[in-house]
Amino acid sequence: MTDQPRVVLVSLDVGTPDHEESLAELGLLAQSAGLMVAQVVTGRRGRPDAATFAGSGKVEEIARAVRESGASQVIFDHDLSPIQERNLERALQCRVLDRTALILEIFAQRAQSGAGKLQVELAQLRHYATRLVRGWTHLERQRGGIGVRGGPGETQLEIDRRLIAGKIKTIEGRLAKLEKSRAIQRRARHRGGVLSVSLVGYTNAGKSTLFNRLTHAGVYAADQLFATLDTTSRKLWLPGAGQVVLSDTVGFITRLPHSLVAAFHATLEETVHADLLLHVVDSANPNRQQQIEAVNGVLAEIGAEPVPQILVMNKIDLSGAAPHVARDECGNIHAVYLSARTGEGIDLLKQALIEVAQARRPYPVEQATAAEITADGME
């Protein structure tokens, strides 16, 4: 027997592309959140129902699945409006989450650093600020009196919205200070001629495994979605290139919630201001092209699209490809095929980083002073 909460997944084909792949990914997200998928309810609709998204007949089917499986939660592979979420919870008599809320739950579980926890809290506040109506049965009641907790005639909903808005402003202020500190570090690295490289990619593509292989950092890596949330940076010395600062970042995903992209702006700034992006791809995944496009979409959203990137086609031990370097028609490195798990092709990636560093450095690395090399603001 397992003590994992049991959930029912719901995915309706409303004409969205990659419907089946998205459902499979929802199952992985649920597992990453520590949930056990008891049943899956699927179907097809011409368009979402305004009241419940699924429609009355499908809601009855979901309710039967909840009763039969003993599930305590229902998770929709769609974005639900506050009214749809509230109506579904009333009809199903259990907690209902949409895809965005599930991802927020995972992020809340995984955040370790102070900055990561602040960013998750900010995303949660922004998401649930639109859903305050769910928690109150007394919204029509108005409060009198004078004071910070409510002025004359101010409803409880208005009070809660004001308090949440104040908390959001406070967190944004604290994150702005963190961004300023990181900006100072980036300027120091730039003055020292240090190459700044960020690992980006679809979640579970193997970024943290590659990061550990290159830097021996011991960063947590697991075969699950969003194993890494907090950005970690380490120095890497490469002969002929000098000091390189490598940063491991949060993984991206199809339909990554905009609230998360906005909240993690402080973390993603490292990607925007990097000299080079190593776009790590699970080369053994049949949906790798869609994943590449999803990552590039997020990069464009955060303003990192102009940053040069090299595709790191990871997991060749599973795909059967040989380690090699692919170049474009101009002779520039386009992709490196390797396995972060076995180490095959890692030397090819290091040589690619050396090539990039030498191309951007105005003088040989031997001429760089010790002060320049270490002036990256890192411990």
Report the CATH number that the domain containing residue 75 is assigned in CATH: 3.40.50.11060
Among 97, 114, 147, the domain boundary falls at 97
Separation in Å, CA 212 to CA 194, 217, 227, 343, 347:
20, 5, 14, 11, 14
Burial string for 161-180 (b: 16+ CB within 10 Å, else e) reads eeeeeeebeebeeebeebee
Residue type at 144 in one-letter notation: G
The alpha carbon of residue 57 and the mean position of all alpha carbons in its chain are separated, in whole angstroms, by 35
Q: Are 194 and 303 in contact (CB under 8 A)?
A: no
Instruction: Tell me if 31 is assigned to some domain.
Output: yes
> For residue 328, what are the domain limits?
189-374
Question: Are 211 and 321 in a shared domain?
Answer: yes
Instruction: Tell me if 116 is assigned to some domain.
Output: no
Question: Are 67 and 204 in a shared domain?
Answer: no
Instruction: Tell me if 106 is assigned to some domain.
Output: no
Q: What is the pLDDT along the chain (379 residues), one digit of tens a residue?
A: 467 899 999 999 988 777 888 898 899 899 988 999 999 999 999 999 999 999 999 999 999 999 999 999 999 999 999 899 999 999 999 999 999 889 888 888 877 777 778 888 888 888 877 776 544 444 444 444 444 455 544 577 777 778 888 888 888 888 788 777 766 665 655 655 688 899 999 988 999 899 999 998 766 565 566 655 667 788 899 998 888 989 888 788 877 776 677 666 656 777 888 899 999 999 999 989 999 998 998 888 888 888 999 999 999 999 999 999 999 998 999 999 999 999 999 999 999 999 998 887 644 444 443 333 333 334 3
Q: How many CA atoms lie within 13 A of 169 on its CB side?
A: 6
- Domain CATH number, residue 233: 3.40.50.300
Number of domains in the chain: 2
Q: Are 6 and 71 in contact (CB under 8 A)?
A: yes
Phi/psi for 97 (5° steps) reads -120, 150
pTM: 0.74
Indicate if the alpha-carbon torsion angle 86, 90, 95, 96 is positive or negative.
negative
Instruction: Tell me if 148 is assigned to some domain.
Output: no
Among 97, 121, 141, the domain boundary falls at 97
Instruction: Tell me if 14 is assigned to some domain.
Output: yes
Question: Are 93 and 234 in a shared domain?
Answer: no
- For residue 337, the cross-strand partners are 313, 324
